[in-house]
Amino acid sequence: MTNAIKNEGTPPLPGNSVARRTLLKCAMGAALCGGPLGLIAATDDPAKLPPQPGDVLVYPSWEEEDRVLLTADLTPGAEPVLVYPRDPGSGVIRERSRLNQLLALRLEPAAMDPDTREQATSSGVIVYSGICTHAACGITAWDAAQKYLICPCHSSTFDAGRRGARVTGPATRALPTLRIAESELGFVITGPFSAPVGASSL
What are the φ/ψ torsions at residue 31 (nearest 5 degrees)?
Answer: -65, -25
pLDDT at position 5 is: 74
Question: Three-state SS for 150?
Answer: strand
Q: Does residue 202 belong to any structural domain of this protein?
A: no
Number of domains forming the structure of the chain? 1
CA distance 33 to 170: 16
Q: Does residue 30 belong to any structural domain of this protein?
A: yes
Q: Name the burial class of residue 7, with classes exposed (0-12), middle (13-18) and buried (19+) by CB atoms within 10 angstroms of its CB.
A: middle
Distance, C-alpha 21 to centroid of its chain:
19
CA distance 44 to 38: 13
Distances (CA, A) of 144 to 81, 89, 105, 155: 13, 36, 11, 16
pLDDT at position 25 is: 35
pLDDT at position 108 is: 96
- pLDDT means per 10 residues, the chain with 202 residues, are 59 34 32 38 83 96 90 96 96 95 97 96 97 96 97 97 97 96 93 91 50
CATH of the domain at 18: 2.102.10.10
Q: Does residue 35 belong to any structural domain of this protein?
A: yes
pLDDT at position 6 is: 63
